[in-house]
Amino acid sequence: MLNREDMLELTRRMTVKRTSVTRIAGTYMDRDGEMDGSFNTNFLNLSAAEKEKNLAIAKAIPFSETNVQLKEYTFEETRQAAGMRQLLTGMKECGLKNDALMYTFYELVAERYQTGKEYAVFVFHDRYDVPVKAADKERMGESEEVYEYLICAICPLVGEYEPGKPECGFLFPSFSDRSSDEAHVAVYYAKPGQTDRVLESVLGCERRNMAVNEK
């Protein structure tokens, strides 16, 4: 299960002054699930207003209700899941700078995410220098590791190329025990009870520790 404090540790940095997000990329899908434009830019080049608006989208994923809206999933032992995990790892390691990888990801999302409505797919790349914590949980000066990760948010469009609040998304790799966990992904649904679990199909994953009481 995800630890709420771990997620809050990530979101506390998601402000215009404190953010370490390096890049943002995304695409817009029309009603037929076809790409209608894309972008890929250095996050630092955005205006303060654009940074704040986009950070609100990214933050919605880890700041959501842990183990209710945001749950940890295990990648299945299938060729599809292995391919998706490899793709996400490649996107992470290149810092979203490889457009061919990004287009492949968008196409895979479009194949399975058919809503009949216009929506946007936003992907953020970030690096978090995880500080060491003492036994009393007080932060120490030195770094424990660098957690490099992606946040993906899928948002309905509320205007022309204007994304609304995310309806689903994910955090990869999962942030478990304040460390990177490549074997798992944290999946977000704004409506935790929805039956159309499309992201599991996109990612090739299954609920981790399903027998555990999620409360």
Taking a C-beta distance cutoff of 8 angstroms, is the pair 59, 11 a contact?
yes
* pLDDT per residue as tens digits for the range 71-127: 999 998 899 889 999 999 999 999 999 999 999 999 999 998 888 999 999 999 999
Q: Which two tokens stand for residue 112?
A: 């399975």
The C-alpha atoms of residue 122 and residue 155 are separated, in whole angstroms, by 8
Give the model confidence (pLDDT) of 159-212 as tens digits: 999 999 999 999 999 999 999 999 999 999 999 776 567 888 899 888 755 433
* Residue 147 contacts residue 180 (beta carbons within 8 Å): yes
